Amino acid sequence: MQADAQRIVELYRAKGRFAASVTPKVTPLAQNRIDVIFEIDEGPKTGVAKVNFVGNKIYTDNELRGVILTKESRWWRFFSSNDNYDPDRLEFERELLRKHYGRNGYADFSVVSAVAELTPDRKDFFITFTVDEGPQYTIGEVRVKTTLAKLDEGVLERFIPIKTGATFDSEKVENAIESITFATGSTGYAFVDVNPRLSRHADTNTMDITFEVNEGPRVYVERINIKGNTRTLDKVIRREIRIAEGDPFNRVLVDRSKARVRALGFFKEIEIEEKPGSAPDRTELDVTVQEQATGSFSIGIGVSSTERFIVDLSVEERNLMGRGQLLRFRAQASSRTRQVNIQFTQPYFLGRNLAAGINAFNQRTNFRESGFIRNRIGFGLNSGFQISEYGRGSLNYQFTNDNVRIDSLSRQTIAGGADPLSILAPGATPISVVPQTTVTGQTTQLVTATLCDFIIQSLSPTCQSRGQFVTSLIGASISFDTRNDPFKPTRGWRAVLSARFAGLGGDVNYYQTEASGAYYHPLIGKFVGVLKGRAGYIDGYGGDDVRLSDRFFEGAGSFRGFEVAGVGPRFVTRFDSRKNRPDGQSIGAKAYAIGTVEVLLPLPLPKEYGIRAALFSDFGTVGLVDESTKFINGDQSFFLDVPLLDVDGAPVLDDLGNNIIISLAPVQDALALRVTAGVSVSWASPFGPVRFDIAKVLRKEIYDQDEGFRFSAGTSF
């Protein structure tokens, strides 16, 4: 019993409870039986009072504390478990310190000892690391030697991210090995051994690096064992593995298989381990996964600059019955959108590498920036298929019934003796006419009517787009993705090209093409450079113009620094003297091209905080409308007389009490360059994701609506 009690104590200590005590007790029973009771006092979790370093001269204690995972116990770390002592973590801390020094040129660094001392009250530990830093090395000669035919040493050297004269970086050496292995594997060499030979020169503290690339032993995959999948079927994992039993072992394909299984999103951890097979030239691959929850029920509440408030109900199962099928129901309500959507996707339809799915939806969207409300109901059929290792294609069909209406009211001030019908469209009547007196004693009238009943608004593309429409369209897309991680990529690229054709029956005829791409590349240190681009074009055919609700609206998240639909063509209804610009409704564009240059920043904060930041610059153009939209009634010389507003947003009146009028072209549109720059910060907080975008507009058109700050926050429970 004492041995059992000690094992229980050891279990508690492994969980950081070193003050735990276990007392075994025996209670006699009848017929020579006993009850064994273990009384357990778990005690508090043992914290870390202090982390000390001995022998460090290059880096301070505080700098090294930021490198390791273990943190000193503080009251504000109530969301973290890293301030509890974990004996298994000490060995990992040694490796973190070695990597830190190795990345900064200290190739001879070693941790002499790591000692943890428990305080007498058994509540805290003092941890002391004794280190030997050694000298800092710079890079001397870097070259590649190979005995393999058809491999050019000079070509392989291009894959080495190490330059002569730079500070030695052990991480770059590992990256070079990976890059050379990948390059040789891509050319057909499945059995390659890349060995970096380091030659130190103590007199100059320089280091020559020679990467020896030789043919490795020929090894074939004998078996692939799937382990840890308590719920997911074996075939769901096997169909993502790029290497089969009997194939030559290929490190590139093994790494690719690991990335594909991880991308399923079904597993918390995925490891592929090589084990000896039945013969020296045979190996077994153990694919070990750790299942994670794939079903979710959540109610989300959020706020943002765009939506104001958001309530989201979602029920989802991404691995239905362990078959990898997706079933999702979602209902969302916000100040802008109300929608219900149900979706089902079978990733391998009829056992083939062909995804098939169906979805149905009902949406109500308030396009406040354009002044209309769209009610949409419909369904879609979609399919996806693999066209290469990194490429996918898709085909889809969509049927929608749209009802576009305008319910908003508008007001306009006229002179006291003027006829209210003079400012309304033929046949329209005002809702109310209220006499008013200005501060100067002038008599005016405040006319209230439906937005489209005013003459100025009735000519707008928004009012012209009212009605009910049926759209039947077919679409296709092709995508390529070589990113190393689908969620937090640091290298690789992704490109998508899509096209849609509406006119398979219904009331709407148009064709639309969009393209997007992103490229990720590591920069100095842990900085990551990102280049992104998007472009699109839509046009009608058969005598049809592009409806307002089908056009492109850009701004906010898609073009930071501008309001929602704040960049692009506008129908002018007034001139705002506060901002010295024409104002009115966004009417969408037929074309856009937007690019982004971004640098992901390595913040000096623990990863557990979930805070990420980036510097960015968005640039591009949004514009182009149909001639019938730009020139009302086909008259290129047509100009609108719009009211001038004062700094308080009220109409400016002349001595007779009439609005002061400015004559402007009805549609402001230019395919001109816009440029913004700023910083973006996101926080995966315990209460939900939070995001801030701060942007400065460097170049714009006078009618664009800029926005310097945008945020969003939400949570699920």
Q: Do 194 and 313 sit in the same domain of this protein?
A: no
d(C-alpha 576, C-alpha 650), whole Å: 10
Q: Tell how strand 661-664 and strand 267-276 pair up.
A: unpaired
Specify the pLDDT at position 648. 54
Considering only residues 414 and 432, tell me which one the structure prediction assigns the higher pLDDT.
432
609 with 682, same domain?
Answer: yes
State which amino acid sits at residue 254. V
Tell whether the torsion through CA atoms of 629, 634, 638 and 641 is positive or negative: negative
Burial class of residue 287 (count of CB atoms within 10 Å of its CB; 0-12, 13-18, 19+): buried
The CATH number assigned to the domain holding 658 equals: 2.40.160.50
**Distance from C-alpha of 538 to C-alpha of 554, rounded to nearest angstrom:** 14
Which tokens is 467 given? 């009605």
The answer to whether residues 18 and 66 belong to one domain is no
Cα separation, 568 vs 370, in Å, equals 12
* CATH number of 152's domain: 3.10.20.310
710 and 564: one domain?
Answer: yes
**715 CB neighbour count, 10 Å cutoff:** 15
Q: Is residue 358 part of a domain?
A: no
Query: What pLDDT does residue 540 have?
Result: 93
Per the domain annotation, does 497 fall within a domain? no
Q: How confident is the model at residue 716 (pLDDT cuts 50, 70, 90)?
A: very low
What pLDDT does residue 439 have? 73
Q: Are residues 184 and 236 in the same domain?
A: no
Q: Give dist(CA 173, CA 210) in Å, integer.
A: 10
Rounded to whole angstroms, the Cα distance separating 17 from 107 reads 37
Residues constituting the chain: 717
Max mean pLDDT range (497-506, 562-571, 602-611)? 497-506
Distance CA 608, CA 606 (A): 5
| 76-85, 250-259, 328-337, 542-551: the lowest-pLDDT one | 76-85
- pLDDT given for residue 407 in this prediction: 75
Q: Is the pLDDT of residue 644 over 60?
A: no
Amino acid at residue number 305:
S
Q: How many CA atoms lie within 13 A of 227 on its CB side?
A: 11
Which of 191, 238, 234, 186 has its CA nearest to residue 214? 191
CA 41 to chain centre: 45
pTM assigned to the model:
0.62
pLDDT for res 403:
92
- Of 13 and 232, the one with more pLDDT: 232
- Is 87:14 a contact under the CB 8 Å cutoff? yes
Mean predicted confidence (pLDDT) in 196-204: 91
Residue 368 lies in a domain: no
Lowest mean pLDDT among 142-151, 408-417, 708-717: 708-717
Burial readout 574-592 (b: 16 or more C-beta within 10 A, e: otherwise): bbbbeeebbbbbbbbbbbb
Judgement on whether residues 561 and 687 belong to the same structural domain of the protein = yes
User: Does 125 have pLDDT greater than 70?
Assistant: yes
Q: Which residues contact 594 (CB under 8 A, 6 or more apart)?
A: 533, 534, 535, 554, 558, 559, 618, 619, 620, 621, 622
Whether the predicted pLDDT of 649 surpasses 80 = no
Find out whether 119 and 89 touch, Cβ atoms under 8 Å.
Answer: no
Q: Structural domain of residue 325, as residue ranges?
A: 306-347
629 versus 211: which is more confidently predicted?
211
For residues 602 and 708, membership in a common domain is answered with: yes
Q: What is the full DSSP assignment across 474-528? A: EEEEEEEE--S-SSS-SSEEEEEEEEEEEEEEES--EEEEEEEEEEEEE-STT-E
- The answer to whether residue 469 sits within a structural domain is no
CB-count exposure of residue 348 (10 Å: 0-12, 13-18, 19+): middle
- Tens of pLDDT, residue by residue over 454-471, are 876 776 777 777 889 999
pLDDT tens, position by position, 555-599: 988 999 998 888 999 887 666 666 666 777 888 999 999 999 999
Contact between 422 and 403 (Cβ < 8 Å): no
- Looking at the DSSP assignment, which residues form a beta bridge with residue 601? 613
CB 638 within 8 A of CB 580: no
Res 577: pLDDT: 61
Pick from 181, 178, 182, 213: nearest CA to 197: 213
* 199 and 315 inside one domain: no
Inside any domain, residue 496: no
Q: Do 572 and 696 lie in a common domain?
A: yes
What's the pLDDT band for 659 if we cut at 50, 70, 90? Answer: low
Residues of the chain above pLDDT 70, percent: 88
Determine, yes or no, domain membership for 356.
no
Q: What pLDDT does 79 receive?
A: 55
Average pLDDT, the chain: 84
Bigger pLDDT: 504 or 452? 504
Residue from 673, 561, 555 nearest 617 by CA = 561
What is the pLDDT at residue 306?
59
Decide: 170 and 137 in contact? Cβ < 8 Å.
no
Last residue of a domain, one of 172, 190, 215: 215
* pLDDT at residue 190 greater than cutoff 80: no
Identify the DSSP state of 139. E
Mean pLDDT of 671-679: 95
Q: Which residue, among 473, 470, 669, 468, has the nearest Cα to 588 in the 3D structure?
A: 669
The 10s digit of each residue's pLDDT in 345-358 is: 998 888 788 899 99
For the segment 48-103, what is each residue's pLDDT rounded down to a tens digit?
888 999 999 999 988 898 888 888 877 666 555 666 777 777 888 899 999 999 98
Looking at the predicted structure, is the pLDDT value of residue 493 above 70? yes
Say what the pLDDT of residue 636 is: 44
User: Residue 440, Cβ neighbours under 10 Å: how many?
Assistant: 8
CB 675 within 8 A of CB 698: yes
Distances (CA, A) of 601 to 69, 487, 529: 20, 16, 9
Residue that terminates a domain, selected from 132, 162, 184: 132
What 8-state DSSP symbol labels residue 545? P
- From CA 364, how far away is CA 373, in angstroms rounded? 7
Whether residue 484 is contained in a domain is answered as no
Distance of alpha carbon 128 from its chain centroid, rounded? 40
What is the pLDDT, as a whole number, of residue 593? 98
- Residues 94/100/105/106 CA torsion (nearest 10 deg): -20
pLDDT tens digits, one per residue of 358-408: 999 999 988 877 778 899 999 999 999 988 878 999 999 999 999 988 877
List the alpha helices (DSSP H) in 541-687: 627-630
Residue 640 pLDDT: 52
Of 606 and 681, the structure prediction assigns the larger pLDDT to 681
Beta strands in 9-71 (DSSP E): 21-29, 33-41, 47-54
Helix (H) or strand (E) holding 178, with range, is: helix 170-186
Of the spans 153-157, 181-185, 362-366, 685-689, which averages the highest pLDDT? Answer: 362-366
Phi, psi for residue 259 in degrees, rounded to 5: -65, -40
Q: Tell whether 631 and 713 lie within a shared domain.
A: yes
Question: What angle is formed at CA 647 by the lines to CA 641 and CA 649, rounded to 5 degrees?
Answer: 60
Q: Is 99 helix (H, G, I), strand (E, B) or coil?
A: helix
The domain boundary, picked from 215, 233, 260, lies at 215
Q: Is the confidence at residue 133, as pLDDT, over 70?
A: yes
* pLDDT: which is higher, 262 or 651: 262
Q: DSSP string covering 424-443, please?
A: B-TT---SEEEEEE-TTS-E
- Residues 60, 196: one domain? no
Instruction: Please say if the pLDDT value at position 603 is more than 80.
Output: yes
Kindly state whether residues 17 and 119 are assigned to the same domain.
Answer: no
- The domain total for the chain is 7
Domain membership flag for residue 706:
yes
684, 664 in Cβ contact below 8 A?
Answer: no
